[in-house]
Structure 1
Amino acid sequence: MSQLASALRHLAPRRLGWLQRLAATLGPGLVVMLADTDAGSVLTAAQSGAQWGYRLLLLQFLIIPLLFMVQELTVRLALSSGKGYGELVLQRFGRGWARLSTAALILSCFGALLTEMSGLSGVAQLYGMPVWQSVAVLALLIFLMVASGSYRQVERMAMLLGVAELAFLWMAWHAWPQWSHIRQQLLQLPLQDHAYLYLLAANLGSSVMPWTVFYQQSALIDKGLSLADLRAARIDTLLGAVLCQLITAAVLIAAASVFAGHGAVLLDTVPELANAFGQALGPLAGRLLFALALSGGALVATIVVCLSAAWALGELGGRHHALAEHPRAAPWFYAAFALLLLLAAAVVAISPSLVRLSIATGVLNAVLLPLVLVFLYRLARSELPAGLRLQGPYAVLVAALFILAGGLGLFAGLAGALTA
């Protein structure tokens, strides 16, 4: 008994120390996954449920292992090399490929800004504010937020709003889904239908995006984590991936339940979605929770996208963390970012359908997916130390999944877009 008691006394501080390390490490994985459940993901999942019922629900859960594999490789690369994704691409493949990779990231970031501004301006529509006015205010506020460099305070506020995304789980439950319908439609995959393929690509592209890879790798480095934090960082990433897809699945379930029996429904505006979700929880509570949850995800994603663009451009130019510098110290970044914001605001202001614009952005990410996966896989095979290098049966599994996901995203995106 005395030996057992002694062992427990030694074990307790060790376990407490590991839990403290886990608590200190948590953040980058959860933040990037809360951002991943952004306005584009929500609008895409809602349209999927409204148009196809539960036929795209299985995809949300199949994405979890892909999402974890992608982000877990960025964790390995960050903690073992101490370098960002863009810096590693530059070092391993040269400036030409680094420019191509960064161009894909900026294109993805521009698409993300479109979806976040679409979502936030759609929320403003709920309260009678015209889209052109809301995008002008949003563009100004986002630029001032970026120029201020005060990301610690802004990120804390965004995380608090990001918690509102959990409201989608509550809404899905109170939409009273018909489990018999879920069982009936779960394995119905009309892959011959181009409209279905288009939304399949949008769901895939709104889950695995270039800026999530850039962000998490740089955020881990910026936080000062090391290989000693690898296990905790993996848990952080796994929790984030599961939470991300549970929230997305909840949105799809709620939309499918609300529109069950009404046939395929095409949604064009955020108020249409908010009113539909209001049927599940009541007009006031439903609209308010939907607005808070959508805004929370969009705000977190805006911060992550801005940081990703700054880190990537800084790494390509041999500078780091230009986002925290005064605009006069990094005019190249702020001028480019202001131009991106103006272009995004103009596109959102003239778009006839904010929902379809967000879905199209997801499809764009799906088309870019093969490029991201190829670079990530090659880096994991060549830049990691022997103990962490991607090799053996797991490397074969990752390669197979990356080929399947990248090929499916490219085929579904192009095939769906040609007939959309």
Structure 2
Amino acid sequence: MAYLAVMGPGLVVMLADTDAGSLITAAQSGAQWGYTLLSAQIILIPIVYMVQELTIRLGVVTGKGHGELIEHHFGRGWAYLSVSTLIIACVGAIVCEMSGIAGVGLMWGIPTWVSCGAMAVFLILVAVTGSYRRVEHIAIAIGLFELVFLVTMVMSNPDPKQVAEGLASFPYSNPNYMFLVAANIGAVVMPWMIFYQQSAVVDKGLKIKDMEDSRWDTAIGSVITQLVMIAMLVTTAATLWANNEGGVDLNTVEQISEAITPHLGETAGRILFSLGMVGAALVAAIVVSLTAAWGLGEVTGYRRSLGDGLKAAPWFYVVYVLVLAIGASVVLSGVNLIDVNIFVQVVNALLLPIVLGFLVVLSMKALPEKYRLKGAYMWVVIVVSVVMCALGVYSGIMGIFMS
């Protein structure tokens, strides 16, 4: 019962982590490179937990959001730098979520402006009419539709021999492969996740006594989010890649659904794919929009709790709506949605040094001795963070300039 009371921030942020952009990245990875990027998805399970667990410590012990702590310990200039990376990541993520919804809408003959408009109206109503707990429950309910991809993975009948060969293959000399390595890193450890979970545990009112249950919440979410990513990668690898020598370059969301429909039937496959993609996009859009509004408020000082309401916290809702509007505008411009999604994940990877740098230093500096990051585990976190940042930046630059 104690866990159920605390459950929410970790699970929500992890369901949001497997957003439309992440699913499209996983689908492109499987369609182009088969199972060679599967090992990266497995390795990232403990890494994403390690990163998000630090946000729990900082949130429940200090009672402050990420931006607030950066401003307190490093000054307003550094806080604005950190929040600027957050806004970039949030706008990019909203573009991904809107593009996922638009792609599903086009599959059913719904114009992009209708699907994006309906999504924006729904998200605004969710924020305006709900407390944090209510929004959290809505997000979890929607996000669980992502689990449909576990069914499609099983029904795609992956070849065990091909899976084993893919796990042992690392074509790191290929710039296109390295570009997708960066995209997958950026699709799993995102700047807005760090800001969201720390702000969410504060807004929910969690205390130090809730820390252990919050860790379980995050650990379970870490496994679920990566299982969904693995499921999407395996599904497209077992169908699109296995049946097309040299792989397939995806250009539309509908192409991804085609990897599923042969095994479930055209109608059932399209419905299940749509539910999974819409669930992923909506839960992430809720989280990302809230994160942008929370993060900017932590630095500028405007009221920023869902419990304050529209009249008491007008700027919170203005930022929330503005992020949605920018995302919809980019999608309606007619850009290639698959390319935009992959590029956004690479940008996330390039922003990692700033985001993880502040997180690790705050975990060593802003906490009391008992909860501080220290000892052997501190060095594990530092080494993993440095490797992640270096690999993400190197892979992203290599892919951008050499592909």
**TM-score class normalised by the smaller sequence:** over 0.9
Q: Distance in 1 between matches of 2:6 and 2:105?
A: 36
Deviation at 1:324, TM superposition (A): 4.7
Task: Determine the structure 2 residue equivalent to 1:361.
Answer: 344
Deviations 1:98-157 (A, max 9, x none): 001111111111011001001111111111012233223433443444444555444433
Task: Determine the structure 2 residue equivalent to 1:4.
Answer: none
Q: In structure 2, which of residues 8, 26, 44 is the aligned counterpart of residue 45 of structure 1?
A: 26
Deviations 1:373-409 (A, max 9, x none): 1000100111111122111111111110000001111
The one-letter code sitting in structure 1 at the alignment partner of 2:355 is: V
Q: Distance in 1 between matches of 2:91 and 2:205?
A: 28
Task: Determine the structure 2 residue equivalent to 1:12.
Answer: none
Deviation at 1:336, TM superposition (A): 4.0
Asked if the contact 1:115–1:358 (Cα under 8 Å) also holds between the matched residues in 2, the reply is yes
Task: Determine the structure 2 residue equivalent to 1:350.
Answer: 333
Task: Determine the structure 2 residue equivalent to 1:99.
Answer: 80
Asked if the contact 1:311–1:323 (Cα under 8 Å) also holds between the matched residues in 2, the reply is no
The answer to whether 1:277 aligns with 2:253 is: no
Deviations 1:29-50 (A, max 9, x none): 1111011111111111011000
Deviation at 1:313, TM superposition (A): 1.6
Segment of structure 1 superposing worse, 199-208 or 318-327: 318-327
TM-score by length of 1: 0.91
Gaps spanning 5+ residues in structure 2: where? none
Q: Distance in 2 between matches of 1:229 and 1:367?
A: 33
Deviation at 1:289, TM superposition (A): 0.9
Task: Determine the structure 1 residue equivalent to 2:174.
Answer: 193
Deviations 1:272-304 (A, max 9, x none): 111221112221221111110111111111111
| CA gap 1:336/1:414 in 2 versus in 1, 3 angstroms | same
Deviation at 1:335, TM superposition (A): 4.0
The answer to whether 1:35 aligns with 2:25 is: no
Asked if the contact 1:258–1:280 (Cα under 8 Å) also holds between the matched residues in 2, the reply is no
The one-letter code sitting in structure 2 at the alignment partner of 1:399 is: I
Gaps spanning 5+ residues in structure 1: where? 1-19
Asked if the contact 2:9–2:136 (Cα under 8 Å) also holds between the matched residues in 1, the reply is no
Q: Distance in 2 between matches of 1:408 and 1:72?
A: 22
The one-letter code sitting in structure 2 at the alignment partner of 1:184 is: E
Q: In structure 2, which of residues 353, 356, 368 is the aligned counterpart of residue 373 of structure 1?
A: 356
Q: Distance in 2 between matches of 1:326 and 1:223?
A: 15
Quote the sequence identity (%): 46
Deviation at 1:170, TM superposition (A): 1.0
The answer to whether 1:418 aligns with 2:395 is: no
Task: Determine the structure 2 residue equivalent to 1:75.
Answer: 56
Deviation at 1:184, TM superposition (A): 0.9
Task: Determine the structure 2 residue equivalent to 1:11.
Answer: none
The one-letter code sitting in structure 1 at the alignment partner of 2:2 is: R
Task: Determine the structure 2 residue equivalent to 1:8.
Answer: none
| CA gap 1:141/1:21 in 2 versus in 1, 3 angstroms | closer
Q: Write out aligned runs for 1:13-412 (5 A).
A: 20-149=1-130, 152-259=133-240, 260-262=242-244, 263-327=246-310, 329-412=312-395
Deviation at 1:211, TM superposition (A): 1.0
Q: Distance in 1 between matches of 2:60 and 2:99?
A: 35
| CA gap 1:147/1:25 in 2 versus in 1, 3 angstroms | closer
Segment of structure 1 superposing worse, 141-150 or 277-286: 141-150
Deviation at 1:339, TM superposition (A): 3.7
The one-letter code sitting in structure 1 at the alignment partner of 2:88 is: L
Aligned length: 401
TM-score by length of 2: 0.95
| CA gap 1:195/1:380 in 2 versus in 1, 3 angstroms | same
Task: Determine the structure 2 residue equivalent to 1:15.
Answer: none
Deviation at 1:227, TM superposition (A): 1.3
Asked if the contact 2:67–2:83 (Cα under 8 Å) also holds between the matched residues in 1, the reply is yes
Q: Distance in 2 between matches of 1:418 and 1:131?
A: 32
SS of equivalent to 2:289: helix
Q: Distance in 1 between matches of 2:353 and 2:401?
A: 19
